[in-house]
Amino acid sequence: MRWGEVVMSNGSQSKALNSIKNWYATSKQEAGLYIALVALIIFLSIASPAFLNAENILNIIRQVSIVGIIAIGGFMVILTGGMDISVGYVAALTGIVVAKLTIDMNVPMPLSITAGMCVGLLAGLLNGTLSTYLNLPSFIVTLGTMQICQGAGYVVTQATPISNFPESFVELGRGYLGPIPIPVIILAALYIFMSLFMKYSKFGTYCYALGGNKESARLSGIRVNRIQVLVYILGGLFSSLGGLIVAARTNAGSAQVGGTYLFDVFTACVLGGTALSGGIGRLPGVVVGCIFVGILNNGLVQLNVDSFYQMMVQGIVLVIAVVLQSLMTREKRKKSNKQ
């Protein structure tokens, strides 16, 4: 059961069929995403023989894990009715700070990782306090933070990636636990924990309340400002965590990686059914969105699509997703008007 669930009572049908129908009625968009995902997989496995290759699949899920971790934070911010476009560059700057400290300045690993996470903490604090207490549009505030992080990244690296981490750190991005890559394990653990946390904790429930109607939430005695700032801080921390794994996997801190993540995270959230107006969305949907984005990006490479055309395809997918979302909410509105 979840918030916003609609129950259709139809006694004559079997329970299982009913529950499928129920699920479809409430998660039309998610259902559409699953169908599109299956279609994409079938298409790619026919069009490109290398696609179903075990190595390629591992590659995809590793890539998905990084987008997925950053997307948790992005999702929470969108859910509360805000927007954080600084996620990608916060991730990049985190990698750079860790690389600079560890490789160039020989700072012990735990200390430099802590410093890296502080990037996310500070960015989140800045985004959160400015957009909450000064009531500034989050889009503008995070646009500023994004540019600050990007600039800082280039200043520290002088535009050349800082590489050669100690082996133990690289393991974080490239290693395996049994047959499963470590980033995937991290992602799975985080998703399970966060999904439950968003559903069963007061904090998670209040996030939905904030996105649903901030004023009403405030007058219900919910400390909306505190929650909103915390959400931005969590957004920053998840970005930093993603950034650590990117750095480990590429064995470098580089300023260039920031741009791609913003787009992927955003597309994954929208595809996964998160309403940009806030209040509606679920983490499981976001995971599937991430998987879709990951497979699409990988498939485009497998099919030898020119990288500039890849961007165009990605853009088209995002636009289609937003259009479908708006059509669906319009349909819902019509129905509820009739009632």
Nearer to another protein, 50 or 327 (CB): 327
Q: How far is the CB of 208 from another protein (least distance, A)?
A: 7
**CB nearer to another protein: pick between 95 and 273:** 273
**Does 339 participate in binding another protein (rule CB under 8 A)?**
yes
Please identify, using beta-carbon distances, which residue of 214 and 249 lies nearer to another protein.
Answer: 214
Q: Which residues contact 112 (CB under 8 A, 6 or more apart)?
A: 97, 98, 101, 102
Binding to another protein, residues 62-91 (CB under 8 A):
none
Count residues binding another protein (CB under 8 A).
29
* 23 versus 200: smaller Cβ distance to another protein: 200
Query: Torsions phi, psi of 67, nearest 5?
Result: -55, -40
Residues 103, 105: Cα–Cα separation, whole Å: 6
Site string for another protein, 265-294 (x = CB under 8 A): --------------xx--------------
d(CA 180, CA 188): 11
Q: Does 215 bind another protein (CB under 8 A)?
A: yes
Question: Which of 156, 209, 245, 293 is close enough to bind another protein by CB under 8 A?
Answer: 209
Residue 158 within binding range of another protein, rule CB under 8 A? no
- Closer CB to another protein, 307 or 334, in the complex: 334
- 162 phi and psi angles, rounded to 5 deg: -95, 115
Q: Are 182 and 175 in contact (CB under 8 A)?
A: yes
Among 220, 309, 316, 326, binds another protein (CB under 8 A): 220
How many residues belong to the chain? 339
Is residue 11 involved in binding another protein (CB under 8 A)?
no
Is there binding between residue 222 and another protein (CB under 8 A)? yes
Question: Comparing C-alpha atoms, which of 99, 33, 102 is closest to residue 270?
Answer: 33
For another protein, give the closer residue by CB, 219 or 320. Answer: 219
**Rounded-to-integer distance, Cα 159 and Cα 157, Å:** 5
Q: Facing residues of 253 across strands?
A: 162
* Through-space distance between the first and last CA atoms of the chain, rounded to whole angstroms: 24
* CA distance linking residue 64 with residue 70, whole number of Å: 10
Query: Quick one: which H or E segment has residue 283?
Result: helix 283-302
What's the min distance (Å) between Cβ of 326 and another protein?
Answer: 15
Shortest Cβ distance from residue 59 to another protein (Å)?
A: 37
Candidate residues 1, 16, 54, 134; the one interacting with another protein per rule CB under 8 A: 1
Is residue 223 within the footprint of another protein (CB under 8 A)? yes
Cα–Cα dist 117/237, whole Å:
6
User: Is residue 12 a contact point for another protein (CB under 8 A)?
Assistant: no
* C-beta closer to another protein: residue 61 or 270: 270
Instruction: Using the CB atoms, write b or e for 165-176: b if 16+ within 10 Å.
Output: beeebbebbbee
Give residues in contact with another protein (CB under 8 A).
Answer: 1, 3-7, 199-202, 205-206, 208-209, 212-213, 215-223, 279-280, 336, 339
